[in-house]
Amino acid sequence: MDFQGQRVVVTGAGKGIGRATAIMLARRGASVVALTRSASDLATLEAETGCRGIAVDLADAEATRAAALEALPADLLVNCAGTTELESFLDVTVENFDLLHAVNTRAPMIVAQEFSRELVASGRKGAIVNVSSCAAFVGIPDHAAYCASKAGLDGLTRVMAKELGPKGIRVNGVHPTVTLTPMALKAWSDPAKAAGMMARIPLGRFAEPDDIAEVILFLLSDAARMVHGLSMPVDGGYMIA
Ligand code: NDP
């Protein structure tokens, strides 16, 4: 897959899956604009890939829109930034519920809106990948706000696919299982919990960030030109009933 001449916006490119995606895209010729929170991550990513970095807190709607506009024009978008807080359903706070929806659901909507408006206005085609989660399909204890925010993102992906497809913009979702990143350390460092999850993965391991990045690049690429509105598990078979 060659991304020479393609301009790609990647949110959450500072760490984990977003960083792996930005690096893979840059190695395959893309010009990457990275949106993430920590300036130190951006500095190392810029040095490693030559990408352009924009530091932004995606929980802030106005700042998110300004950063999205600053990142344009672009041909491809990966909405990868995400966050989680572990709380049992009975303990979920309104603050964390709102935060997870702001970062995981609202920010992808805002960034995709500005990305798509610019593409449509200039008459170019493009593609979007929203990074969701297997947590959008199943109920995972202590992940109520996270599961709800990712299921919300999937609803957004489907509507975007219906409305943006006729305008030449493909939209798909990717649904990783546990992937070995800083987020996974937060959510799955309890060995008993991790073992229970691993037992449900027929391929017998958690994902590496590059496993997810490869699928994201496929969905962005012209090889996937007829793939649209898909929710694609990248889960080693976790979703098999
Ligand atoms: P990481 O925590 O490793 O990285 C997340 C990235 O998003 C970081 O660069 C982080 O920046 C950035 N980010 C988070 N919150 C904000 C914010 N408010 N403003 C700007 N940037 C922000 O996560 P993963 O790589 O594991 O996750 C990537 C995506 O994949 C997420 O959407 C996640 O929900 C999803 N996913 C992950 C799974 C996993 O097991 N790891 C499984 C299924 C889905 P900073 O550190 O500076 O805050």
Note the pLDDT tens digit of each residue in 46-77. 999 999 999 999 999 999 999 999 999 999 99
Query: Is 2 a member of any domain?
Result: no
State the closest ligand 1 atom to the C-alpha of 186, by its place in the atom list counted from 1.
2
pLDDT band at residue 174 under the 50/70/90 scheme: very high
- pLDDT of 1 > 90? The answer is no
| Percent of the chain surpassing pLDDT 90 | 95
Query: Is 233 a member of any domain?
Result: no
State the closest ligand 1 atom to the C-alpha of 212, by its place in the atom list counted from 1.
30
- pLDDT of 18 > 80? The answer is yes
pLDDT band at residue 101 under the 50/70/90 scheme: very high
Q: How many domains does the chain have?
A: 1
Q: If you measure from the C-alpha of residue 97 to the centroid of ligand 1, how many angstroms do you get, rounded to a whole number?
A: 16
Q: If you measure from the C-alpha of residue 42 to the centroid of ligand 1, how many angstroms do you get, rounded to a whole number?
A: 14
Low-confidence winner among 89-103, 134-148, 187-201, 216-230 (lowest mean pLDDT): 187-201
| Ligand 1 pocket residue status of 83, Cβ below 6 Å | yes
Q: Kindly state the tokens that stand for 70.
A: 């600053």
pLDDT at residue 124, rounded to an integer: 98
Query: Is 45 a member of any domain?
Result: yes
pLDDT band at residue 188 under the 50/70/90 scheme: confident
Q: What φ, ψ does residue 142 adopt, rounded to 5°?
A: 70, 10
Residue 174's beta-bridge partner residues?
131, 232
Residue 52 DSSP SS3: strand
Q: If you measure from the C-alpha of residue 81 to the centroid of ligand 1, how many angstroms do you get, rounded to a whole number?
A: 5
Q: If you measure from the C-alpha of residue 111 to the centroid of ligand 1, how many angstroms do you get, rounded to a whole number?
A: 16
Q: What is the mean pLDDT of residues 21-50?
A: 98
Strand pairing category for 169-176 and 126-131: parallel
Q: If you measure from the C-alpha of residue 83 to the centroid of ligand 1, how many angstroms do you get, rounded to a whole number?
A: 5
Query: Is 235 a member of any domain?
Result: no
| Ligand 1 pocket residue status of 59, Cβ below 6 Å | yes
Query: Is 238 a member of any domain?
Result: no
Residue 172's beta-bridge partner residues?
129
The rounded distance, in Å, linking the Cα atoms of 207 and 184 is 10
Query: Is 67 a member of any domain?
Result: yes
Q: List the one residue out of 119, 137, 143 whose CA is nearest residue 193.
A: 143
Under a CB-based contact definition with an 8 Å cutoff, are residues 115 and 77 in contact? yes
pLDDT band at residue 79 under the 50/70/90 scheme: very high
State the closest ligand 1 atom to the C-alpha of 104, by its place in the atom list counted from 1.
32
Give ipTM to 2 decimals.
0.99
Query: Is 175 a member of any domain?
Result: yes
Q: 194-240, pLDDT tens digit by residue?
A: 999 999 999 999 999 999 999 999 999 999 999 999 999 999 999 99
Q: What is the mean pLDDT of residues 31-38?
A: 98
Q: What is the mean pLDDT of residues 38-48?
A: 97
CATH number of the domain at 141, please.
3.40.50.720
| Ligand 1 pocket residue status of 15, Cβ below 6 Å | yes
- pLDDT of 241 > 80? The answer is no
Q: Which helix (H) or strand (E) holds 11?
A: strand 7-11
Q: Kindly state the tokens that stand for 217.
A: 């690049």
Average pLDDT, the chain: 97
Query: Is 173 a member of any domain?
Result: yes
- pLDDT of 137 > 80? The answer is yes
pLDDT at residue 68, rounded to an integer: 98
pLDDT at residue 98, rounded to an integer: 98
Residue to substitute in 54, 58, 83, 86 for testing ligand 1 pocket (most ligand atoms within 8 angstroms of CB): 83
| Ligand 1 pocket residue status of 82, Cβ below 6 Å | yes
pLDDT band at residue 153 under the 50/70/90 scheme: very high
Question: What is the DSSP secondary structure assignment for residue 206, as one 8-state letter?
Answer: P
| Ligand 1 pocket residue status of 207, Cβ below 6 Å | no
Domain boundaries, position 162: 7-228
